[in-house]
Amino acid sequence: MHIHILGICGTFMGGIALLAREMGLTVSGSDQNVYPPMSTQLAEAGIELSEGFDPAQWKSPPDLVVIGNALSRGNPMVEAVLDGSLHYTSGPAFLAEHLLTDRWVLAVAGTHGKTTTASMLAWILEDAGLAPGFLIGGVPRNFGLSARMGKAPFFVVEADEYDTAFFDKRSKFVHYRPRTVILNNLEYDHADIFPNIEAIERQFHHLLRTVPGNGLIIAPDDDPHIAAVLEMGYWTPREPLAKTGWHARLNTPDGSDFEVFFGDDSQGRVQWDLLGQHNVQNALAAIAGARHAGVPTKYATEALGHFQSPKRRMEMRGEIGGVTVYDDFAHHPTAITTTLAGLRARVGSARILAVLEPRSNTMRLGIHRDTLGPALSEADDILLYQPTGLNWNLNSVTRTLGTAQVFDDIDRLAVHIAETARCGDHVVIMSNGAFGGLHEKLLHLLGIRKGNNEDTKQSPLPQGEGVDETGS
């Protein structure tokens, strides 16, 4: 069977391609942005890639076309599929029908922390010898790839609420029918497809309708929007992320050492390299999910001591001349707030430089313009990049932040940071895209300033790493 994937270089659709190839199918694909690392991963798997969406790429029609949610009517290949009456489906539907039917699905949903929590959960199961399958919207560094079939029965999936395809406007996650579901949190996002928070709550309720009575819902008690979802009804046992259920006692302010409790009973201790209260909460959810799959909590806490944060989640890209540069997949004010708070708890009074590209669809629409300034306030210096096509002026943010500056040229931004950063500074570069190679440009300039590369630690990241086809 030959399948062709439209939008194959997005993180989700690229994962679908890897899974289909592992299933023994002939896989090809098209995208308008074909670059590493996804292009490299796919090529190594024997998947033929084509640049652009010209139907002439097809020497003969494929048996099935899998259409990503970034494509819509008017795309030449979409029109060719419809005009030619070719068999087509969506990525989530393909996954559900061809792989998830007989699996114990553990789904991680929520506005924030899906990639990290799903990666933690997959790693705990892996460390326990269960060899789970997974599809994650990023690259878990413990595995080095974003998707694999694994062994039955367990399959971990990052459950995204973004819409499925141009012909299916339901959220992706309603296709997965999980037995274990984690609801990390819920805030308004994806303003390009959801008119309000109530519309997102309704989709989350649709997800809960698919969870069986012998399954498990893991969710916080203090999230008002999760509470609204639960009030619509659920038919499955629930374990809360709260004092009455899963909670933690921090042994260090930055969250790098904490004890796990279920109710009043200690379950184990986690000591790891991650930071921030948000990652502690992610860990609690992953531990609870793994326990439902049969992994004793003691083993889960020990496994997390060997967990490596996914790429682009506060990933240290390099340290040159005492200046540490991080890459973070920031797309929402809450995520920015928790990331900077975690770093502050770790570095104390050291200077933090926050560098932000407001690239997500919701940020581009200006939905978060009033909360973006407060989210950045933990930083000592704030540098904003005004990308082409942003339909509001970032100067509206700087008015509430005395030290903020706006740049419209990435090269000038890199030069400014290199000239002003000093030994002991922490530079956090935040974007859900490649940010025009700013990380590489800055590290190169810092190296020149230092005069040599002695005592230099650097982790290369190809252009386009971690870019999500949803743009969310």
In this structure, the answer to whether residues 60 and 10 fall within a common structural domain is: yes
In this structure, the answer to whether residues 331 and 195 fall within a common structural domain is: no
pLDDT in tens, 373-413: 788 888 888 888 888 877 777 777 777 776 788 888 999 99
Q: Is residue 183 part of a domain?
A: yes
pLDDT in tens, 262-319: 999 999 999 998 888 889 999 999 999 999 999 999 999 999 999 988 777 778 888 8
CA 472 to chain centre: 10
Percent of the chain with pLDDT over 90: 61
In this structure, the answer to whether residues 43 and 189 fall within a common structural domain is: no
The pLDDT of residue 275 = 85
Contacts of 208 (CB under 8 A, 6+ apart): 181, 217, 229, 230, 232, 233, 234, 235, 236
Under a CB-based contact definition with an 8 Å cutoff, are residues 1 and 23 in contact? no
pLDDT over 60 (residue 468): no
- Rounded CA-CA distance 272/268 in Å is 13
In this structure, the answer to whether residues 236 and 379 fall within a common structural domain is: no
Domain boundary among 41, 59, 92: 92
Q: What's the total number of domains in the chain?
A: 3
Domain boundary among 276, 304, 332: 304
What mean pLDDT is reported for the chain? 88
Which one, of 211, 218, 262, lies nearest residue 121 by Cα? 218
Under a CB-based contact definition with an 8 Å cutoff, are residues 36 and 9 in contact? no
Domain boundary among 41, 68, 92: 92
Q: Is residue 470 part of a domain?
A: no
Look up the CATH number of the domain holding residue 445.
Answer: 3.90.190.20
In this structure, the answer to whether residues 22 and 70 fall within a common structural domain is: yes
What is the average pLDDT across 22-50? 86
Cis peptide leading into residue 178 (ω within 30°): no
Look up the CATH number of the domain holding residue 22.
Answer: 3.40.50.720
- The residue range of the domain holding 202 is 100-304
Q: Is residue 206 part of a domain?
A: yes
Q: Is residue 57 part of a domain?
A: yes
pLDDT over 60 (residue 452): no
Q: Is the dihedral of CA 429, 380, 115, 431 positive or negative?
A: negative
Sorting pLDDT into bands at 50, 70 and 90, what band is 112? confident
- Rounded CA-CA distance 381/428 in Å is 10
Which is higher by pLDDT, 459 or 250? 250
Sorting pLDDT into bands at 50, 70 and 90, what band is 37? low
DSSP string, 160-197: --SEEETTEEEEGGGGT--SEEEE-------TTT-SSH
Q: Give per-residue burial for 48-86: e unless 16+ CB within 10 Å, then b.
A: ebbeebeeebbeebbebbbbbbbbeeebebbebbeeeeb
**pTM higher than the cut 0.75:** yes
Look up the CATH number of the domain holding residue 231.
Answer: 3.40.1190.10
CA distances to 413, 414, 439, 441 from 419, rounded to whole Å, are 10, 9, 15, 13
In this structure, the answer to whether residues 181 and 239 fall within a common structural domain is: yes
Indicate the length of the chain as a whole number: 472
Under a CB-based contact definition with an 8 Å cutoff, are residues 256 and 342 in contact? no
- Token pair recorded at residue 235: 């038919």
pLDDT in tens, 311-347: 777 788 888 989 999 898 877 788 788 888 888 988 8
The pLDDT of residue 13 = 93
pLDDT over 50 (residue 113): yes
In this structure, the answer to whether residues 87 and 166 fall within a common structural domain is: no
- Rounded CA-CA distance 138/108 in Å is 13
Which one, of 184, 185, 187, 178, lies nearest residue 206 by Cα? 178
